[in-house]
Amino acid sequence: MSKPNREAQLRLGEQRLQELGLSADAGVDAVRGVVGRDPAADLAIVARLGAHADVAAVDALRRIEATTADKLVRKEVKRSLYRLEQRGVAVPPTPAPTPPPVVMGPALEGYVSAVDGRGDQLVWLLKPHPGGLAHLFAVINDPEGLREVNLFETTRKAVRASREELLRKHDLRMIDADWRYCDYLIDRAFHWAAQRGQSGGDYPGMRAKLIKVPVTTMQPLIFAQVDVAAVRANASLLAESAKLLEEKEFRTWFFDPETLKPYLDEAQRIKESPLLLNEAQQQERFRVLLERVVEELFGGEHQLARALSWVRRLEEMAYFFHATGRTESAQRALAAAVALEAGKHGGRDVPFCEQLARTSFFAFLQMEEEREQEEARSSLVLTPQQAAREMQRRTR
């Protein structure tokens, strides 16, 4: 097998960064936020950091060097650090390698659930000890943060019973996951909530009773299970991503009336327009409105944080499907996540997103129309808008 060509990988990486909306003048914090998603993109990020003559770039490069396993990226880190040093930026020597951290006592266990329609997910950490188990239970939300956390003593039998009850009563399955990743998810959620001035509980305090090593920043688990480049190259996976909504875990994935209200109100205004729009004109305005619905609900160009939240949720679901033996659904979920992250128009051109937005929108629109019809049947007086619509109906 031929060695990867640096220049070709750099060009590919720059293309990936452009797809993510990161222009050539993007700052250190912006590019650092997408590290770990694609080796070619990481290579381009490292090359860019070599042009930022400040200590923040050095710190970012050291972090990438410590976490990447890609030889080409590691070589590029050395090249960029050398460039920064030549420009007068202080580059501390590479720290001496330290042995991997060891968790004292029995190994921890991690479990996660699927993500529900609100972005909630259950995460468990278990640590065996003489006489039982320490069970850390957390409810996290993307992007709101930590909703709830608790630490209590239990037994293996009780944990098994809890898993069975969740599956039987709520059809909620807990699957095995790397405990370090579970720890990372809860810690990240804790900090998200803290930034919002909210508190779902004292995770650092509870964590200290179980874990004595620092939190490990990790990329989504699906990236170690599936070839992302192959998924990106297989257009049929994205084209068939709407089929994901047939999976039972997506039954709670829909937009609520409060979120849809601005769009439902606009739909109502279109129907009641004083211009007395004909059917063709109404359909065109509805088409434009629906494009906005799909784009804005999933982020769009000016709502990057919202778009990335949906990306993370889909990545979590991809791992869940992979772990439960649904390889094709895992690949479709990852394809949707990749396309959503690369797009600049929210959920447009991502069939999963388009179907989810449209289904939610039309469901509540139909409910509103049925309510209006019921009110009209019980009323002896027609509004001008109702009279106009009735006249249109009769003259067709």
Per-residue pLDDT reduced to its tens digit, 244-292: 999 999 999 999 999 999 999 998 888 877 565 677 888 888 899 999 9
Spatial contact of 15 and 2, defined as CB atoms under 8 Å apart = no
pLDDT-based confidence at 61, cuts 50/70/90?
confident
Strand order in the sheet with 145-154: 145-154, 132-141, 120-129, 109-112, 175-177
Report helix, strand or coil for 150.
strand
**pLDDT value of position 3:** 55
CA–CA distance, 337 with 330 (Å, rounded to integer): 11
pTM here is 0.71
Percent of the chain's residues with pLDDT above 90: 54
Spatial contact of 339 and 227, defined as CB atoms under 8 Å apart = no
- Mean per-residue pLDDT of the chain: 86
Q: How far is CA 393 from CA 242, 281, 383, 386, in A?
A: 35, 15, 15, 11
**pLDDT value of position 376:** 58
Which of 17-26, 124-133, 293-302 has the weakest average pLDDT? Answer: 17-26
Out of 89-93, 183-187, 342-346, give the one with best mean pLDDT: 183-187
Tokens describing residue 306: 């919202």
CA–CA distance, 24 with 43 (Å, rounded to integer): 14
**pLDDT value of position 282:** 80
| Closest by Cα among 144, 142, 149 to 123 | 149
* Residue 32 CB contacts under 8 Å (≥ 6 apart), including other chains: 45, 60, 63
∠ CA(310), CA(312), CA(316), 5° rounding?
Answer: 115
